[in-house]
Structure 1
Amino acid sequence: MEQREFEKLLDQVVANLNTELASHGIFTSAKEFEQRVRQIIISFVGTHGVEVDFSPHPHAFPDIAVGKFGVEVKFTLHNTWRSVANSIVESTRNNDIVFIYIVFGKMGGTPEVKWASYDESVIHVRTTHVPRFEVEINPKRSLFKEMGITYKVFSQLSVEEKMKYIRRYARSRLKPGERLWWLEDQPEPEHSLPLEVRLYTSLSHEEKRRLRAEAAILSPKVVSPSRTRNKYDDAVLYILTYHGVICHQARDLFSAGSVALRSNEERGGIYIQRALQDIEHEMYDAAMRLEDALFVEYWGSTYHPRERIKVWLCMADIHAQGWVPSEVLFRKV
């Protein structure tokens, strides 16, 4: 099968998937969507004597191998064509594959499935546990063009050589006062740090509210009494490791007068309660949109977005003393 022929096959695969969306509704999980993509592909290529593995290694890249062609499947319940992709190391890449494509299922907004060339879809590098590509369907820019190298050449480099390109790219994006955090030639698989570091005090008012809300949702123990040791550790570490923001004074996040008295300057009451009431809507938004992996890491389990506020209130009630979060928070949200 030639490249153009395979791309026509992808047109058919995507057309079938969009027809199914229109007639049967959205897919509800990434696993379900990936398996359906695999089933439709095999229905087309089976007549060519090409086999498709229905039980690949869970970390294989790309997800679906079709001879010399590969398909990386991306899925989201949100209204976005952007997603975090594979590690830049590509240690689990199938070396028999020459051409890689993305089949992306977007279930949010107007549900739709599209396909694209993988190398043309990579737009950025971000870090979770290791530097990972970020992809977007029909992007306005290309990471590899910005780095001055093709994906084909980049993928064949050693890790040390790849990191030189990544550091150079990261430096080109730094703003005044920002510094690179990641300086190693070898990414550390258990380390989770962004490429840039900023000070919390330098952020805009809106970004401060958003980060405080995310940190509060992931760390219910911020409601603990003032003398509780390490009550802010998880919140501060989340903001540092996930957003690359350093907060020198943890109390500035929730219990300082500047946040507790923002909506009402009258002193008194429980400052942490007043601070959280002020960002209730941002906390609700964070509970709805933050990825499952964060809740597994910070809560120890995953919950449906609609259940997260209820679960958070249960945990917060256990930590709080002198007030009951479930009686005063999220009453109108």
Structure 2
Amino acid sequence: MQESDFIEILKTLCSQLTTEARSVGFSSAKAFESRVRQVASNLITDPSIQIDPDPPAQGFPDIAAGKYGIEVKFTTNDTWLSIANSVQETNRVQTVEKIFVVFGKLGGSPEVRWSSYEDCVVHVRTSHVPRFEVELPPTGGTVPLFKQMGVPYDEFRRLRMDEKMKHIREYARGRLKPGERLWWLEDNPEKEHSLPIQARIYTKLSDHEKKKLRAEAVLLCPGIVRSGRAKDKYDDVALYLLTYHGVLATNVRDMFSAGSVANPDNDDNGGLYIERALKLIENEILEAAQRLDDALFIEYWGRPIPKNQRIAEWLAQADSLAKNWKPSDSLFLNK
């Protein structure tokens, strides 16, 4: 069967099911999928193509018809937008080469539409398992996802997961607004970072963990050395703690300027509190420079930095950002 022949079958199927949707409707997504399967079986006359009436529950796409497949979507709402399959496609039917979507919408004016899968995937949701979103048809001039990423779907689906994630991460990074950060960074799903289930308050942590997290944040966010008048100087620190560790810091400024962290001995030696606070956690910052993943430096600094060069690079960035003092004159002098 040629693709043009299968498209004609889809047109007939959607026309028939639209009529049924407006007359008797469908009681559930399962009932709709069952009806799509039944009508498709009736319309396909090629004896070499047999549609399985009871396929595996998690198979992708839902209906395999030789080298063509149908992914079925259904909603009782007045929308053409739906969550689709995982980008991993672990349960893909390997005999299927080309996938189409048949979408039943019962809300508003009931209708059933079809589209090629590649043309209606408009977004990827990033969670513990990234999933596609489909929309039939894309509205408001939305460009299909694979065109945005610059890779055809048929090529993308054959990539290893780490290669897929490179495309997805670049797509997601391009959608970030000022002050936003990605909370997931890794290429390998086995290493994938996810937020802890238990959100924690910074002030409730042990002193050891507070120091550890402050050191990581300092290293990744040298902007904290800027003038105290810089209103957004602590934004990246707060986002890092929240998105990577699930820790809520209600007053990030106090993490570096409060007397308890910058002057725990309550002496009268004066000096900048931020300078004194950083000097007190130099060893923890050095340890973080050896421990943190390259992905974090790519995200926060824009490029990977060899472990033995991270402190020197931090000092160079900090020197360029600080006013009225030079971090390299007082920090990490003997390290």
With the length of structure 1 as denominator, give the TM-score of the two structures: 0.56
Q: Aligned residue for 1:35?
A: 34
Q: Aligned residue for 1:147?
A: 149
Q: Distance in 1 between matches of 2:247 and 2:116?
A: 34
Q: Aligned residue for 1:90?
A: 89
Deviation at 1:48, TM superposition (A): 3.4
CA contact (8 A) 2:82 2:133 kept: yes
Give secondary structure in 1 for the equivalent of 2:30.
Answer: helix
How much is the aligned-residue C-alpha RMSD, in angstroms? 2.4
Identity %, equivalent residues: 54
Q: Distance in 1 between matches of 2:55 and 2:26?
A: 21
Alignment of 1:1-333 (within 5 A): 1-24=1-24, 26-46=25-45, 48-139=47-138, 140-187=142-189
Deviation at 1:122, TM superposition (A): 0.6
Q: Deviations over 1:238-261 (max 9, x none)?
A: xx99xx997959xxxxxxxxxxxx
Give the letter aligned to residue 90 of structure 2: S
CA contact (8 A) 1:130 1:192 kept: no
CA contact (8 A) 2:13 2:39 kept: yes
Give the letter aligned to residue 72 of structure 1: E
Deviation at 1:158, TM superposition (A): 0.2
Q: Deviations over 1:39-64 (max 9, x none)?
A: 00001114534211111111100000
Q: 1:15 to 1:89 in 2, by over 3 A?
A: same
Q: Distance in 2 between matches of 1:248 and 1:45?
A: 62
Q: Deviations over 1:269-318 (max 9, x none)?
A: xxxxxxxxxxxxxxxxxxxxxxxxxxxxxxxxxxxxxxxxxxxxxxxxxx
Q: Which runs of 5+ in 2 are unaligned?
A: 196-241, 252-335
Q: Distance in 2 between matches of 1:175 and 1:9?
A: 43
Give the letter aligned to residue 171 of structure 1: R
Deviation at 1:133, TM superposition (A): 0.6
Q: 1:106 to 1:146 in 2, by over 3 A?
A: same
Q: 1:189 to 1:112 in 2, by over 3 A?
A: farther
Q: 1:28 to 1:95 in 2, by over 3 A?
A: same
Q: Distance in 1 between matches of 2:194 and 2:106?
A: 28
Give the letter aligned to residue 22 of structure 2: A
With the length of structure 2 as denominator, give the TM-score of the two structures: 0.56
CA contact (8 A) 1:87 1:133 kept: yes
Q: Distance in 1 between matches of 2:62 and 2:116?
A: 14
Q: Aligned residue for 1:283?
A: none
CA contact (8 A) 2:165 2:187 kept: yes
Give secondary structure in 2 for the equivalent of 1:179.
Answer: coil
Q: Distance in 1 between matches of 2:176 and 2:248?
A: 16
Q: 1:90 to 1:67 in 2, by over 3 A?
A: same
Q: 1:247 to 1:2 in 2, by over 3 A?
A: farther
Q: 1:118 to 1:245 in 2, by over 3 A?
A: farther
Deviation at 1:180, TM superposition (A): 0.5
Q: Distance in 2 between matches of 1:111 and 1:149?
A: 34
Deviation at 1:28, TM superposition (A): 2.4
Give the letter aligned to residue 160 of structure 2: S
Q: Deviations over 1:12-54 (max 9, x none)?
A: 1111101112221x21211110000000000111453421111
Q: Distance in 1 between matches of 2:10 and 2:248?
A: 45
Give secondary structure in 1 for the equivalent of 2:44.
Answer: helix
Q: Aligned residue for 1:294?
A: none
CA contact (8 A) 1:101 1:118 kept: yes
Give the letter aligned to residue 57 of structure 2: P
Give secondary structure in 2 for the equivalent of 1:164.
Answer: helix
CA contact (8 A) 1:28 1:77 kept: no
State the 4+ residue runs in structure 1 displaced beyond 6 angstroms: 189-193, 244-247
Give secondary structure in 1 for the equivalent of 2:22.
Answer: helix
Q: Which runs of 5+ in 1 are unaligned?
A: 194-239, 250-333
Decide which moves more: 111-120 or 38-47: 38-47
Which structure's CA Rg is the greater one? 2
CA contact (8 A) 1:127 1:192 kept: no
Deviation at 1:129, TM superposition (A): 3.9
Q: 1:183 to 1:190 in 2, by over 3 A?
A: closer
Give secondary structure in 1 for the equivalent of 2:187.
Answer: coil
